């Protein structure tokens, strides 16, 4: 599983908060201040753990193991932070042995502004850069030192805001979207197993289990339901007496499903996350009767019950299998498989 190092600088705290949010989404990750790493020689970054009292404990070890680096820099006077630039210059060779994402935090987030803000870093790192983006910042005038306050007040593009006590372009949604975009780029560099091998492992894992957690949601409500399932060729079949999950499925067919082994140690991880589209199969439909047969249930006996048994069919669209055994085969422990598009789910 790829380990990520988030390197940041922050004068007023927002860039640090953003870096830590990115670290949680991109985990396993370590978040480290650039100036704490900049005192390390390149050989130290590559070979030893830093345990100084500066707060960099663990950062040297994280740098040694990191396969992907995210640099989060605030924008001051239209330039990346000086400590970020100093780190990048001192350790360009180390950075370019990895893949790097660059994130700037500022009040302007248009593509042109982001490109200009990050240009010193993109020109320095060149082809090492796998992703760039900008996130909205936040400035309260009473935070600022005299120099920064004067810059804000004199900026031509901010003159219309001079009467405001705060300038706020921050968006949590924007941070989440950027993190997921960076994650997709990072994961593209993982060591993939052959798709047919991944599919076989997924099919075997689902066949070896019979209980999942079905997650549904709609209109601000979410639910996680432990429920038995049957698996057949990319589809899950779940029989239920009813419940709140059907209110969600009525308006939102998108579901997530988790199947996993009990935790027995980091060398024995086995868990599967599925994304798919659910359909409530009409009672008496061919696939409804077929699913009852797979469960050994007599359709006539089911029809005579005092309540209806409902069938949910989930076509699996995407699967993430975390299995320690992949590492023994020379692959990343987390593998993703995209299932083929489903046939028409209605009727049959």
Domains and CATH numbers, the chain: 4-187 (3.40.50.360), 195-338 (2.30.110.10)
298-302: long-range pairs with CB below 8 Å, 24+: none
SS3 of 241, please? coil
Sorting pLDDT into bands at 50, 70 and 90, what band is 144?
low
| Cα–Cα nearest to 89, from 131, 38, 36, 51 | 38
pLDDT score of 2: 72
What is the average pLDDT across 205-231? 97
Neighbours of 303 (CB within 10 A): 12
What is the average pLDDT across 274-292? 96
Q: Is there a cis peptide before residue 336, judged by omega within 30 degrees of 0?
A: no
Q: At what angle do helices 14-26 and 172-187 cross, to 10 degrees?
A: 40
Task: Give tens-digit pLDDT for 12-71.
Answer: 889 999 999 999 999 999 999 998 886 554 445 544 444 444 444 578 778 888 989 999
pLDDT score of 34: 93
CB-based burial label for 307 (10 Å; 0-12, 13-18, 19+): exposed
Is the model more confident about 134 or about 166? 134
| Whether residue 10 has pLDDT greater than 80 | yes
pLDDT score of 156: 58
Sorting pLDDT into bands at 50, 70 and 90, what band is 152?
low
| Cα–Cα nearest to 101, from 168, 173, 25 | 25
* Cα–Cα distance list, 197 to 15, 161, 202 (Å): 41, 58, 9
- Between 1-10, 178-187, 249-258, 275-284, the lowest mean confidence (pLDDT) is in 1-10
Sorting pLDDT into bands at 50, 70 and 90, what band is 168?
confident
Handedness of CA 173, 83, 3, 184 (dihedral sign): positive
Which of 48-57, 132-141, 218-227 has the largest mean confidence?
218-227
Residue 43 contacts residue 28 (beta carbons within 8 Å): no
The rounded mean pLDDT for the chain is 88
Question: Which residues does residue 310 pair with via DSSP β-bridges, in sequence order?
Answer: 240
- Give the Cα separation of 175 and 152 in Å (integer): 24
| Cα–Cα nearest to 15, from 170, 241, 161, 140 | 170
- Give the Cα separation of 136 and 152 in Å (integer): 15
pLDDT score of 38: 61
Task: Give tens-digit pLDDT for 256-270.
Answer: 999 999 999 888 999
| Whether residue 224 has pLDDT greater than 50 | yes
Residue 133 contacts residue 105 (beta carbons within 8 Å): no
- Between 38-47, 108-117, 120-129, the lowest mean confidence (pLDDT) is in 38-47
| Cα–Cα nearest to 334, from 321, 346, 319, 343 | 321
């Amino acid at each position: 599983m790829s380990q990520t190092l988030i390197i940041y600088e922050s004068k007023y705290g927002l860039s640090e908060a953003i870096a830590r949010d990115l670290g949680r989404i991109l985990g396993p990750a370590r978040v480290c201040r650039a100036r704490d790493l900049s005192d390390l020689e390149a050989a130290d970054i590559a070979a030893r753990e830093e345990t100084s009292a500066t707060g960099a404990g663990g950062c040297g070890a994280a740098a040694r193991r990191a396969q992907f680096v995210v640099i989060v820099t605030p924008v001051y006077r239209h330039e990346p932070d000086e400590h970020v630039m100093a780190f990048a210059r001192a350790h360009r060779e180390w950075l370019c042995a990895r893949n790097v994402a660059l994130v700037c935090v500022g009040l302007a987030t248009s593509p042109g502004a982001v490109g200009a803000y990050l240009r010193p870093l993109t020109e320095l790192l060149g082809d090492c850069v796998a992703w760039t983006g900008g996130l909205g910042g936040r400035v309260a005038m009473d935070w600022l030192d005299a120099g920064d306050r004067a810059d804000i007040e004199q900026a031509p593009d901010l003159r219309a805001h001079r009467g405001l006590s705060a300038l706020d372009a921050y968006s949590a949604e924007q941070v989440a979207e950027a993190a997921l975009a960076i994650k997709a780029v990072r994961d593209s560099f993982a060591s993939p197993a052959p798709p047919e091998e991944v599919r076989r492992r997924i099919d075997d894992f689902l066949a070896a289990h019979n209980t999942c957690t079905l997650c549904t949601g709609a209109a601000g409500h979410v639910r996680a339901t432990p429920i038995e399932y049957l698996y057949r060729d990319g589809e899950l079949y779940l029989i239920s007496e009813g419940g709140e999950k059907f209110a969600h499925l009525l308006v939102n067919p998108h579901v997530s499903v988790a199947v996993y082994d009990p935790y027995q140690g980091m060398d024995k991880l086995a868990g599967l996350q599925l994304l798919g589209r659910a359909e409530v199969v009409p009672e008496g439909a061919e696939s409804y009767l077929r699913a009852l047969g797979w469960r050994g249930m007599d359709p006539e006996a089911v029809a005579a019950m005092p309540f209806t048994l409902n069938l949910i069919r989930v076509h699996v669209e995407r699967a993430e299998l975390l299995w320690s055994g992949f590492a023994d085969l020379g692959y990343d422990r987390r593998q993703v498989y995209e299932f083929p598009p489903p046939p028409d789910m209605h009727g049959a």
